[in-house]
Structure 1
Amino acid sequence: MNATDRTPADLLRSALAADPGRPLVTFYDDATGERVELSVATFCNWVAKTANLLQGDLGAAPGDRVALLLPAHWQTAVWLLACSSVGVVADVAGNPGAADVVVSGPDSLDAARACEGERVALALRPLGGRFPQAPAGFADYAVEVPGQGDRFVPFVPVGPEEPALIVAGAELTGAEVVERARADAGALGLTGPGSRLLSGLAYDSWDGVSAGLYAPLASGASVVLCRNLARLDEESLARRVESERVTATRR
């Protein structure tokens, strides 16, 4: 990626400019059999729509905190980059009671109700499907996001030294996220579009979000993001590594 990229949103813009058609995130859920592959262009479109929802409908502004109560999932990756695009702080598994906005999966709705601000719920169903009935007190992401604009422009430019991410209690600026992601990419041998990192790590630590998103993005590589990977036996995992042309693994 470009040496001048200083924020995660910069990395995504460079990826789009370099090759919009290449795979960026391939997601598996080994509890349901789901597989979804998103090209750079498709992923960017989801990010733009989500950022417009966050900035426009939800009224989030730079410096606000967004608690992400979500597992390792392709839609979580979208939210992380949408937060970076708007300039809000993505607080992974953060305290919803201290957040301006909470984004919850179906298993954390009770905890998410502690947020006094805006609440968004993700069903995490295949193909981004909606809830059969939206949870009380929440906007259904799958209902709200399709109508959002495909192009996003922040109201306020996002600076690299502004807080961007909180994970496992550590707060990082956008520049720190990029710097650490580049270092991780080098350590993992991610060298460009031919590199494919398979990650079975949860998104509850820096290692998890780095392997599952930031390090591949920072190096022009792609990620095979696996939820419930422990359900696979070694033979099935070996077949996936071969079929997905994986060059490095983290699990």
Structure 2
Amino acid sequence: MSPLPHTPAALLDAFRTLNATSPRLSWYGAEGERVEFSGRVLDNWVAKTANYLVDELDAEPGQVVALDLPLHWRSMVWLLAGWAVGATVATGEVAGGAEIVATTDPAAAHVRLAGASPAPLVVAVALPALAMRWMGELPPRTLDYCGDVRSHGDQFFPDAEPGGSDAAWRNGDGGAVAETNYAQLLPAAEPAEAPRRVLLQARDGWGAVVPQALKAWAAGGSVVLLGDGVEATDALRSSENVTEG
């Protein structure tokens, strides 16, 4: 049996090498949207986003990447890509000191960040699965993630991996800010006899969803993530072969 991944890089390697065509992330949106990613496809999205961060935004290990995004499949991709780069990813309205801010409301982000020095790069993220670009006018000094990310490489090779004591995740959705370092992201997981299929709900917040997703993925399982407004029915659980949640 292959050792379970204990770093983001090892987790992404597992996505593309261990049962790479099996589902790893399924997303349900409130408008009836359902999107499913195999391990290989999820790794591909993360690699493109990590390359985008480095090539377009000059992201480096230790920089703060703030996600002004709801829990969504795109925000999970950004989270994993930030860790692939070695950044500190901030969620739950923790944007202090951010060099990069990914947002669904770039106009409001510019207002909120006015006066910040140095001014962070603002990246507009359209959420619909088929969005090929930002629909509508973008404010000045704003980049279009969906319009640019597909041109970037399908594989990501970091120049260096972060140290275990480096800050990986800063989450403030519970009021107080909780910080997790890279050594704490993927604690030792027990091998599962059969892959777990875990149902998670965005309404529970980053602090509940992310650790459970990482735990399931590290053990070779998969996640069904429900957006706000999506009901976790017995029929949905049955159709998705959910084993937990």
TM-score, with structure 2 as normaliser: 0.87
Match of 1:219 in 2: 219
* Deviation of 1:97 (Å): 4.8
The residue identity in structure 2 corresponding to 1:133 is G
Match of 2:92 in 1: 93
The residue identity in structure 2 corresponding to 1:135 is L
2:94–2:170 CA contact under 8 A, matched in 1: no
Match of 2:17 in 1: 17
Structure 1 residues 160 and 7, CA, compared in 2 at 3 Å: closer, same or farther?
farther
What SS class does the counterpart of residue 160 from structure 2 fall into? coil
Match of 1:111 in 2: 109
The residue identity in structure 2 corresponding to 1:24 is R
2:94–2:171 CA contact under 8 A, matched in 1: no
Structure 1 residues 210 and 82, CA, compared in 2 at 3 Å: closer, same or farther?
same
Task: Give the distance between the partners of 1:193 and 1:138, measured in 2 at CA.
Answer: 45
* Deviation of 1:192 (Å): 6.2
Q: 2:185 aligns with which of 174, 177, 188?
A: 177
Structure 1 residues 143 and 79, CA, compared in 2 at 3 Å: closer, same or farther?
same
Aligned residues between the structures: 235
Unaligned runs of 5+ in 2: none
Match of 1:159 in 2: 163
TM-score, with structure 1 as normaliser: 0.85
User: 1:50-81, CA deviations, whole angstroms, 9 ceiling, x for partnerless residues?
Assistant: 00111121011111000011111111111111
Query: Would you tell me which structure has more helix in proportion to its own residues?
Result: 1
2:4–2:218 CA contact under 8 A, matched in 1: no
* Deviation of 1:39 (Å): 0.6
2:64–2:98 CA contact under 8 A, matched in 1: yes
User: 1:181-215, CA deviations, whole angstroms, 9 ceiling, x for partnerless residues?
Assistant: x3xxx6xxx8266321111134744212223x312
Identity rate, percent = 33
Task: Give the distance between the partners of 1:148 and 1:9, measured in 2 at CA.
Answer: 18
Task: Give the distance between the partners of 1:86 and 1:214, measured in 2 at CA.
Answer: 17
Task: Give the distance between the partners of 2:103 and 2:204, measured in 1 at CA.
Answer: 14
The residue identity in structure 2 corresponding to 1:42 is V
1:7–1:84 CA contact under 8 A, matched in 2: no
What SS class does the counterpart of residue 151 from structure 2 fall into? coil
Structure 1 residues 247 and 130, CA, compared in 2 at 3 Å: closer, same or farther?
same
Aligned-residue CA RMSD in angstroms?
2.3
Task: Give the distance between the partners of 2:150 and 2:218, measured in 1 at CA.
Answer: 27
